[in-house]
Amino acid sequence: MSDVNLADFLERLRSYDPDLDKGKVMRFAEIAKAFPHLPPAVARRYPRVGMADFAEIGYCAYKGWHRGRGTEVRRPARTAQRVTRGENIHARKVDEELQAARKLPVATPTDLRNPMVDMASIPELPALIKVGGLVYMSSVERAGRNKGDLVIMEIKTGKWVRMPDHYLQTWGYCLSAPSALLRLTDNNFRAKAVRWSLSYPESVFGPYGFTERTLKLVREGMRLFGRLYRLGAAADKHVPHDPYGPSGRKCPPCGFAHDCSWRYTDERTGTYTAAGSPSAPVVLRLTRDGAL
C-alpha cells in the first residue's frame, strides 16, 4: 500500500457527493450474494472488528492501526460524555420504535417475499460478514423496505454532517444488512435495490442509491483498513501518511491520543496536545533532543 493510494482514497472519499452520483444502484440480491452472513462459530476464527471501528479511518487512518494494535481507548471526559449522550438518545429511539412496531401487523412470509409491501424499519439489526480476512460486526441502525428497495439508515446525534466516517459506516451496513435480513427471515426477505440515508438532529440526507461507486469506495476502504489493522497488530509503524489525519481539532478528543505517535504537534510551540481533561488538555513539552 503506497502513500498515494491512501491519500488518493481519502481524497475521493472526502469529495464524494451522493447528489452527483448517477451510477448504477446495486441490487439487494447482488450484495447478499457477494457478502454472505458468517455463522458466529466461523466468525470466531478470525479477528473481529466493529463496522464503526472500520469507519474511523475516514476520521483518521491511524485509528485503523490502533485498532489492530489493541491500543486502549481512553476517551477524555468531554468525549465520553458525548458518547454516553448519543448512546442514551439511541436507546430511547430504539425503545420508542420497538413500541410502535409492536402495534403493526406482523409480516407474513408472503409479505416478506413481496418487495412492494413496505416494511417499518427494524432497529439494531445484527449482521456479520467477512471481508479480506477480517470479520465485520454490525448492528445496523435501521433497515426498512420502501417502494421495493431496502433502505439503510444511520442516525448521528452530533453536529457534524456528511463526514467521511459517516459514509463508510453507513455503506458498511449496506454490505452487511442484506444477508442478515435473509438469515433472519428464513431466506424470505426480498428487495430490489439498496439505498442509504443519514439522519442528523437537524436534517436527513437521502435515501440515496448504494451505487457501484459507493461499493468501490467502501471495498477500497476495507482493504486499506485491513492493511493498517495488520500493521498495527505487528506494531509496525511504517504506515502511509494520512494527510487529513492528525489535527488540532481531531486529536484532543481522540481516545488513542494518550498513546499515539502521530498525534497533532503544534510546530510553532513544539508541544504535543494529548487527550486530557477538556478544559485543561495535557501538554507535553519536547526536550532539546526531541524526547518527551
Name the residues that contact ligand SF4, by CB under 6 A: 60, 62-63, 66, 245-246, 250-251, 254, 256-257, 260, 262-264
Least distance (Å) from ligand SF4 to the CB of residue 243?
Answer: 12
d(CA 228, CA 235): 10
Task: Identify which of residues 226 and 246 has a Cβ nearer to ligand SF4 in the complex.
Answer: 246
Task: Identify which of residues 56 and 154 has a Cβ nearer to ligand SF4 in the complex.
Answer: 56
Count of CA atoms in the C-beta half-sphere (13 A) of 186: 5
Compute how many other C-beta atoms are within 10 angstroms of the C-beta atom of residue 230: 17
Task: Identify which of residues 130 and 250 has a Cβ nearer to ligand SF4 in the complex.
Answer: 250
The burial class, CB within 10 Å (0-12 / 13-18 / 19+), for 247 is exposed
Take residue 34 and report the three cell numbers written for it: 457477494
Q: Which residues pair with 180 in a beta bridge?
A: none
User: Do the Cβ atoms of 45 and 128 come closer than 8 Å?
Assistant: no
Task: Identify which of residues 138 and 273 has a Cβ nearer to ligand SF4 in the complex.
Answer: 273
Least distance (Å) from ligand SF4 to the CB of residue 275?
Answer: 7
Task: Identify which of residues 18 and 58 has a Cβ nearer to ligand SF4 in the complex.
Answer: 58
Least distance (Å) from ligand SF4 to the CB of residue 169?
Answer: 17
Task: Identify which of residues 58 and 144 has a Cβ nearer to ligand SF4 in the complex.
Answer: 58
| Residue 126: cis peptide before it, omega within 30 degrees of 0 | no
Q: Which residues pair with 123 in a beta bridge?
A: 142
Least distance (Å) from ligand SF4 to the CB of residue 102?
Answer: 41
Least distance (Å) from ligand SF4 to the CB of residue 59?
Answer: 7
Least distance (Å) from ligand SF4 to the CB of residue 64?
Answer: 9
**Helix (H) or strand (E) run with residue 220 in it:** helix 212-233
User: Do the Cβ atoms of 198 and 151 come closer than 8 Å?
Assistant: no
